[in-house]
A and B are shown apart, each in its own frame.
Chain A
Amino acid sequence: MHGLINRSIQCFLRDTYGSDVWTEIAADAGLGFDNFEALLVYEDAVTEQVLRFAAERLDKPVALLMEDLGTYLISNVGSGGLRRLLRFGGVSFVDFLHSLDDLQDRVRLAVPEIVLPALEVRHSTMKSFTVVCSFDRPGFGHVIVGILRAMADDYGALVLLNHLGGNSGIEVIEVEVLDIGFARGRSFALGASVT
């Protein structure tokens, strides 16, 4: 799996549970190092090992850990970049939801070698949506749930999210938008200075 994903997991565990815990998990997982390079590609098994040992060490279900990871990716101060990149998707949370269809292509524009879950957004009414997440590694739908939850906050929208489970590489998430302008949300300027 791409280093960006592995490094995200590393930063999440380190920032949330402390560097000692991360170092232990890295050792338990038999990495032989404790720092993923964001631009290198690693074996999928490495990522699975890390997640498995992290869940064990923290005594949490993997699904919950992955949802926390998704939330962290957006709300953590240090990773403001990802939040900004996702906000390019649209002016409102609903625009953003629709932009998820293109997410994979957008990310590949910047990092051609990355493989991310493919997302397909369907809506049954103007306020209820399903996001279908296809990925050859299970559980990543939970990361999407965390990301959607944090992005809804970012846009100031009130939403209900429900991971409906799934099988053979397909996970389904139900999104119900209760109030699109529930809170103020965080500001976003298209042309923020690039550093």
Chain B
Amino acid sequence: MVEAGDFTALAAEHLDRLMPMHVIVSETGHIRHVAPTLAKLLPGGDLAGRRFLEVIELRRPRNIHSMEDLRFAVEAPLHLRFRGALQTTFRGIAVPLAAGKGLLINLSFGIAVADAVRDHDLTNADFAPTDLTVEMLYLIEAKTAVMNESRNLNRRLQTARIAAEEQAYTDTLTGLKNRRAMDHVLARLTGSGARFALMHLDLDYFKDVNDTYGHAAGDHVLQNVARVLVEETREADTVARVGGDEFVLIFDRQVDPDRLRGIASRIIERLEEPVSFDGKTCRISGSVGIGTSTLYAQPVAEVMLADADAALYASKRKGRACATLVNEVEGWVGEGADREKQTA
């Protein structure tokens, strides 16, 4: 049978290749050999002949002051640091050499491997080919690149999400369409030559509700208004909240002035029904301006909106809570030669 020692008798250079960060310490506690990569890290030249425990500080296990103590730490995980300028901490393990030959202490970088490699400018050749340190460095670098890319992607997605929300067509408080949606509907209708009516509604006394009972009451009232507007219109019509207390209703293929006036009256009537919120009674009303596509040879969204707005203000001047048709407004000139001058 072959003695174990026959296998382990290694030439120093081979030991250095296998474990380029080991130290051999004699029975007396003196350093006999420092492997090349470790030697590269240590300033102050050759450590051979110096006492091991004077050169290194054992941080774990503690209370190791002599070679005798160190022998008890054989095969235990060691955490250590070189005394002096070198800040790098190492992990290590000590194993006894043949009787009377001292200890072999093999070291490696701990978790701070990346910093250590950078600080000491180590290369592939400084590590044993079996050591995965280089793979670890590669991974750190590759993962960092991927993480950066991922962060960028998240930032772009976040920006896109905000943009998408801004572009969404729904008013989040009331569930009605928003101004953007209304613009689209109007653009489509004016472009296609369809017959339709446009009703501009502005709530009366809403500011008082907000100021007196607070925004929660105001929001409750707005939601109630939205419900009334949806109930008083047909599926094909468009109801949009285009400002704090402003609404635009678009009636598909409905251009009869009397019918429209009737709808407006009903809406105003229902808006005037008291709404209770948190034990308080909120009262509002509404003023309306009504225009129809048939009043224009070539309806233009901006013009129709401006005219409906003017009609709405005529209603306000008349004492609120009523509806006015665009062509009833004083000074209405229709599509005359002065039209452009007037709207400019």
Residues of A within 8 A of B (CB): 37-40, 81, 84-85, 88, 90-91, 95, 106-107, 109-111, 189-195
The 7 A-B residue pairs with the shortest CB-CB distance, nearest first, are A191-B118, A110-B142, A191-B117, A88-B138, A194-B144, A38-B149, A81-B145
A-B contact pairs, 8 of them (CB 8 A): A81-B145, A91-B123, A91-B125, A109-B139, A109-B142, A110-B143, A193-B118, A194-B114
- Known interface pairs A37-B153, A88-B134. Does A190 touch B117 (Cβ–Cβ under 8 Å)? yes
CB neighbours of A90 from chain B (8 A): 124
Q: CB distance A190 to B134 under 8 Å?
A: yes
- CB closest residue in chain B, given A110: B142
Which of B123, B142, B144, B150 counts the most chain A CB atoms within 10 A? B142
With A39-B150, A110-B146 known as contacts, the answer to whether A189 contacts B118 (CB < 8 A) is: yes
Cβ-defined contact, B153 with A38, below 8 A: yes
For B156, the chain A residues whose CB sits under 8 A away are: 37
Asked if B117 contacts A39 (CB within 8 A), the reply is: no
Q: Does B121 contact A (CB under 8 A)?
A: yes
Residues of B within 8 A of A190 (CB): 117-118, 122-124, 134, 137
Given contacts A91-B123, A190-B122, contact A84 B141 (CB under 8 A): yes
Inside 8 A of B141's CB, which chain A residues have their CB?
81, 84-85, 88, 192, 194
Contact A110 B118 (CB under 8 A): no
Residues from chain A with a CB closer than 8 A to the CB of B115 are 191
Q: In the bound complex, how far is the Cα of B132 from the Cα of A106, in angstroms?
A: 12
Cβ contacts under 8 Å, B235 to chain A: none
Which A residues are in CB contact (< 8 Å) with B149?
38-39
B134: nearest chain-A partner, CB-CB: A88
Mark B140-177 against chain A: 1 for CB-CB distance below 8 A, else 0.
11111110011001001000000000000000000000
Chain B residues whose C-beta falls within 8 Å of the C-beta of A106 in the assembled complex = 135, 138
- Chain B interface, number of residues (Cβ within 8 angstroms): 27
Chain B residues, Cβ within 8 Å of A107: 142
Q: Using CB atoms, name the residue of chain A closest to B157.
A: A37
Distance A95 CA – B150 CA, assembled complex (angstroms) = 32
Provide the bound-state CA to CA distance between A178 and B124, in Å.
24
- The smallest beta-carbon distance between A32 and chain B, in angstroms, is 14
Docked CA distance A190–B115 (Å): 11
B125 touches A189 (CB 8 A): no
Q: How far is the CA of A110 from the CA of B140 in the complex (A)?
A: 9
- Which B residues touch A37, using CB under 8 A? 153, 156
In the complex formed, the residue of B with least CB distance to A37 is: B153
Chain B residues near A84 (CB, 8 Å)? 141
Knowing A85-B141, A110-B143, say if A91 contacts B121 (CB, 8 Å). no
Contact present for A111 and B146 (CB under 8 Å): yes
Q: Mark B306-318, 1 if CB is under 8 A from A, else 0.
A: 0000000000000
* Partner among A39, A191, A194 whose Cβ is within 8 Å of the Cβ of B153: A39
Would you call A91 and B124 a contact (CB within 8 A)? yes
Residues of chain A with a CB closer than 8 A to B150's CB: 39
Is B258 at the interface (CB under 8 A from chain A)? no
Chain B 105-141: CB-based contact to A (< 8 A → 1; otherwise 0):
0000000001111110111110000000011011111
- The docked-state distance in angstroms from the alpha carbon of A189 to that of B122 is 7
CB distance from A68 to the nearest CB of B (A): 23
Residue of A whose beta carbon sits closest to that of B117: A191
A194 to B122 Cα, complex, angstroms? 15
- Distance of A87 from chain B, by nearest CB (Å): 9
B294 to chain A, nearest CB (A): 40
CA distance A40 to B19 in the complex (A): 42
Q: How far is the CA of A145 from the CA of B54 in the complex (A)?
A: 55
Are the CB atoms of A191 and B122 closer together than 8 Å? Answer: yes
Indicate which residue in A95, A109, A110, A191 contacts B119 across the interface (CB closer than 8 Å).
A191
Complex Cα spacing A15 to B64, Å: 61
Q: Which A residues are in CB contact (< 8 Å) with B116?
A: 191
